[in-house]
Amino acid sequence: MNHDLASIATALVAKGKGILAADETVPTLTKRFDALGIQSTEESRRTYREMLFVGAAEFISGVIMYDETIRQKSSGGVPLAQLLSDQGILPGIKVDTGAKHLAGSSDEKITEGLDGLRDRLSEYRAMGACFAKWRAVIRIADRLPSTACVSANAHALGRYAALCQEQHLVPIVEPEVLMDGSHTIERCEEITGVVLHAVFQALFEQRVVLEHMLLKPNMVTAGMACSRPAKVQEIAVATLRCLRRHVPAAVPGIVFLSGGQNDRTATAHLNTINQLPGPKPWKISFSYGRALQDPALTAWDGRDENLKLGQQALYHRARCNGAASLGTYTDQMEAASAGG
Ligand code: 13P
């Protein structure tokens, strides 16, 4: 495996490809399984992840795993990280230990996981990981986010990214401004700008090499409970404007999270952003979790006889998003059946 950080960062945003985020913690994946009545066991989670990891390499450059998964083997006895690299997919790993209550704030979170991180990164690299992910969450409300929340999370992202590069892993820096709430798209743009500014300041202070990282931001959208939902074009324009203002051109790629958008909407937004005129100094692609996985999870439904259907559903979404990363996604492509 080539551990040159610049090549890994570039390979993750190779033409027409993006990242599959499959790094849900056990409680989160269990919640998703529960919603469909699927039993969550170490074995059922392994089966599900193996299903996702095979068959969509044409459009998937990397997969983000959770600690449990990177330690598991396929049904054929191959470590799952190797199953990925054998298909030319870069294995990645979530390394934060979750968003916890921020002391001194009424309803905000700080992402933890810096203690012992150097040793964990070194272990993951030995297990085949090429890149890592750390997610910070920022909530918008009348008087939120607080400066304390933004700066503490930005600082942690900076410390994490510097440690990753020291340990020869490409950091994916994920500051997520949540869609929860009734805020307008204008307010989301303002806060996303504030957060990105703080994050790049922290990355600069911690001497993070921008060419050796990727940014995983939210799109600029209205809150889910906003009385004036934003249109696709409006979201694309606001998102690209905000990124142009706050993300240095040295960053090789921006890979969006889906954040609760439905699968087709997330694809349409990515496509429209890539179709907008004007300079785009970074590759713009996806690192979706729910928007890639949801149809595959539903099609699988926990049954061995549906594994193929699950893979076909993932292939279809990955193909549509791969096209959206080039601005060539169409309704006809969407209409082609998942199996077609
Ligand atoms: P969603 O695309 O479901 O938001 O997940 C992406 C992710 O990795 C969240 O950390």
Spans in the chain with pLDDT lower than 70: 1-3, 337-340
pLDDT at 3: 63
Is the N-terminal amide bond of 248 cis, ω within 30° of 0?
A: no
pLDDT at 2: 54
Pocket residue to mutate for ligand 1, from 25, 95, 290, most atoms within 8 A of Cβ: 290
- From the candidates 24, 174, 176, 189, which is the catalytic residue? 174
Measure 289 CA to ligand 1 centroid, in angstroms.
Answer: 4
The pLDDT of residue 258: 98
Mutate to test the pocket of ligand 1, among 24, 29, 262, 288 (most ligand atoms within 8 A of CB): 288
Nearest CA to ligand 1 atom 8: 21
Look at residue 310 in the predicted model and tell me its pLDDT: 98
Amino acid at 130: C
For ligand 1, mutation pick of 29, 111, 287 (most atoms within 8 Å of CB): 287
How confident is the model over 87-125, as pLDDT tens digits?
A: 999 999 999 999 999 999 989 999 999 999 999 999 999
Annotation marks residue 174 as catalytic: yes
In the reported structure, the alpha carbon of residue 288 is separated from the centroid of ligand 1 by a whole-number distance in angstroms of 5
- Angstrom distance (rounded) from CA 149 to CA 154: 8
Task: Give the per-residue pLDDT at 340.
Answer: 47
Q: What is the Cα–Cα distance from 296 to 21, expressed in whole angstroms?
A: 13
Which of ligand 1's atoms lies nearest the C-alpha of 259?
4
Closest C-alpha among 31, 30, 78, 25 to residue 50: 78
Question: CB within 6 Å of ligand 1 — which residues?
Answer: 21, 135, 174, 257-259, 288-291
d(CA 266, ligand 1 centre) in Å:
12
pLDDT at 106: 84
